[in-house]
Amino acid sequence: MAVAGIPPILGLIYVIVGIPLVAYLLHKGKFFKKIGIAFTLISVVLGFLIFAPMAPFQLQSVVLNDTAALGAPVGVAIGLLILFILIVFVTGRIFCGYLCPIGAVQELAYHVPVKKAMPVEKNVLFVIRLIVLLIFFAAAFFLSTGILSYFGIIQFFNLDITSILFVVFLVLLFVSLSFYRPFCRIICPLGALYSLAAMKSLFKFQRSEACTECKKCEAECPTNEAKREDAKGECYLCGRCVEVCPADAISYCRK
């Protein structure tokens, strides 16, 4: 339902302002749950209004060399994608956590209080994700096809309810009620690249000496990333670990 007259560049501005703002608030310990939900709601609304900031689709258009879909020279789009990967090396996955409309709508679904699925072993998901990433690149290079177009994201945010693909994304959203972010953790090619960068990010959630090893954070984390030694590649900075920590021992800080 992209609304004519609202420039899609608003999505880019939102990301450029949003990432440092969220990082600052996280670092100062002032990023409360309500603020996170507000960001995710804004992101979803932007997804409906202007289909932006849809960075996974930008990556797909770059790989397909689809300049019409990009609405900008390929060089500029590649530069921005590299810039945002570099930002993940500093801040972690703030874009995925709060600003991407696809991630945000799954995050909101997971807030619905229904029984949650047990977290899947990280190595298993890593292998599945790697296979999907290879399929993504193979389909783009050998078949000139973007596999993201088959998950109904465009139809969902365009409210194209007559399309069968709309139903595909609805099913993904239904799964998101109990399995945390299936699209982000298995399918999204950009998320896979961000995940690698986030493992080395300068700022991430870390435990202080106040930690009593009660493991409440580990039990709460939907992605199995809350252990002291976890690299945090799949940490979406959701804050669930921080919220349940009785010792107030987790903060978003430099390694």
Residues of this chain that interact with ligand SF4 (CB under 6 A) are 55-56, 96, 100, 102-103, 183-184, 188, 190-191, 194, 205, 220-221, 223, 225-226, 235-241
Widest pairwise Cα distance in the chain: 55
- 139 or 224: whose CB is closer to ligand SF4? 224
- 102 or 109: whose CB is closer to ligand SF4? 102
- In the complex, the smallest distance separating the C-beta of residue 148 from ligand SF4, rounded to whole angstroms, is 9
Phi (first) and psi of residue 81, to 5 degrees: -65, -40
- 14 or 194: whose CB is closer to ligand SF4? 194
- In the complex, the smallest distance separating the C-beta of residue 250 from ligand SF4, rounded to whole angstroms, is 7
- In the complex, the smallest distance separating the C-beta of residue 54 from ligand SF4, rounded to whole angstroms, is 8
Q: Is there a contact between 235 and 93 (Cβ–Cβ < 8 Å)?
A: yes
Type of residue numbered 192: A
Number of DSSP helices (H) and strands (E) in the chain, helices first: 14, 2
Q: Which residue has the tokens 């994304």?
A: 169
B/e letters for 116-150, b = 16+ CB within 10 Å, e = fewer, are eeebeebeebeeebeeebeebeebbeeeeebbbee
User: Helices marked H in 144-251 — which ranges?
Assistant: 153-157, 164-176, 182, 189-198, 216-220, 240-244
- 5 or 22: whose CB is closer to ligand SF4? 22
- In the complex, the smallest distance separating the C-beta of residue 171 from ligand SF4, rounded to whole angstroms, is 16
- 96 or 109: whose CB is closer to ligand SF4? 96
Type of residue numbered 85: I
- In the complex, the smallest distance separating the C-beta of residue 5 from ligand SF4, rounded to whole angstroms, is 25
Report the distance separating Cα 184 and Cα 45, nearest Å: 19
B/e letters for 25-38, b = 16+ CB within 10 Å, e = fewer, are bbeeeebeeebbee
- In the complex, the smallest distance separating the C-beta of residue 65 from ligand SF4, rounded to whole angstroms, is 20
- 55 or 249: whose CB is closer to ligand SF4? 55
Q: Is there a contact between 182 and 172 (Cβ–Cβ < 8 Å)?
A: yes
